[in-house]
């Protein structure tokens, strides 16, 4: 536990950036935080320095990522075809969750936080990430929520028509935001991907998040218009700051 609590968060907007570039930056910032924690560990409080926190917003060119608990069977075409026919890349990464897609028009958020500055509870961390997206979607008149369950039956992320209450019985739960995180020494990496103006056809090459009986959607599809990704990022940032009691 840190003797000096730091809830200041450095927000960085990277724009459209290659997945590998963002991954490398996450690794660099995470290592910086961890090194400071280790430096503090055996020192008296007066000699300790606060650990920093970061929040990265970006978009990626077409890319598919597979988490440690995912299955290659959920990638429905070969990696060569992805690259040659669709201009997409593929990465296996160290985060929770299965396979997902990132691309232009999708808001990706990577909180690189020392949870010792906030709370040491991964379950709470994930629920607050989800809540920030739920509140953001409510700002645009979209009713979103979670699909609850126990253990593996719980579907992480944020969904529309999540509770089966839609007036149209043909509507089924639709995932609008995927999440997958990693934490080491209570330092977080990876995060969420909110479909804002995303080309949903790219999800047709995978079983999104390994869930075959659910659909995906975007804010643009649901609202019938495109929304500036930076505008949505601003709203997410506001809700994250409130929920985590951050200072931006």
Q: What six digits make up the tokens of 120?
A: 């040491």
Give bridge partners of residue 182 from the DSSP assignment.
Answer: 189
Q: How far is CA 12 from CA 51, 63, 83, 202, 248, in A?
A: 17, 21, 29, 27, 11
Q: Is 109 helix (H, G, I), strand (E, B) or coil?
A: strand
Secondary element (H or E) of residue 191: strand 187-195
Catalytic residue among 9, 33, 187, 209: 209
Q: What is the rounded distance in angstroms from the CA atom of residue 244 to the CA atom of residue 104?
A: 28
- Where are the extended beta strands (E) located within 93-152? 99-102, 106-112, 144-147
- Known catalytic residue: 209? yes
Known catalytic residues? 209
């Amino acid at each position: 536990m840190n003797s000096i609590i730091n809830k200041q968060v450095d927000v960085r907007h990277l724009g459209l950036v290659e997945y590998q570039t963002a991954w490398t930056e996450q690794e660099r910032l995470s290592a910086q935080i961890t090194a400071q924690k280790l430096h503090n560990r055996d020192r008296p409080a007066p000699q300790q320095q606060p650990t920093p926190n970061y929040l990265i917003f970006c978009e990626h060119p077409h890319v598919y990522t597979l988490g440690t608990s995912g299955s290659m069977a959920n990638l429905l075409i070969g990696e060569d075809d992805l690259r040659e026919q669709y201009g997409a890349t593929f990465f296996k990464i160290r985060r929770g969750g299965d396979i997902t897609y990132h691309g232009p028009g999708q808001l990706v958020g990577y909180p690189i936080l020392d949870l010792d500055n906030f709370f040491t509870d991964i379950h709470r961390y994930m629920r607050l990430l989800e809540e920030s997206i739920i509140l953001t979607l409510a700002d645009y008149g979209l009713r979103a929520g979670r699909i609850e369950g126990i253990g593996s039956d719980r579907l992480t992320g944020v969904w529309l028509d999540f509770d089966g209450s839609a007036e149209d019985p043909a509507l089924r739960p639709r995932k609008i935001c995927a999440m997958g995180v990693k934490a080491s020494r209570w330092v977080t990496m990876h995060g969420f991907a909110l479909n804002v103006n995303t080309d949903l056809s790219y999800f047709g090459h995978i079983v999104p998040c390994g869930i075959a009986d659910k659909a995906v959607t975007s804010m643009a599809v649901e609202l019938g218009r495109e929304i500036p990704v930076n505008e949505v990022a601003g709203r997410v940032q506001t809700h994250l700051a409130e929920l985590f009691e951050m200072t931006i």
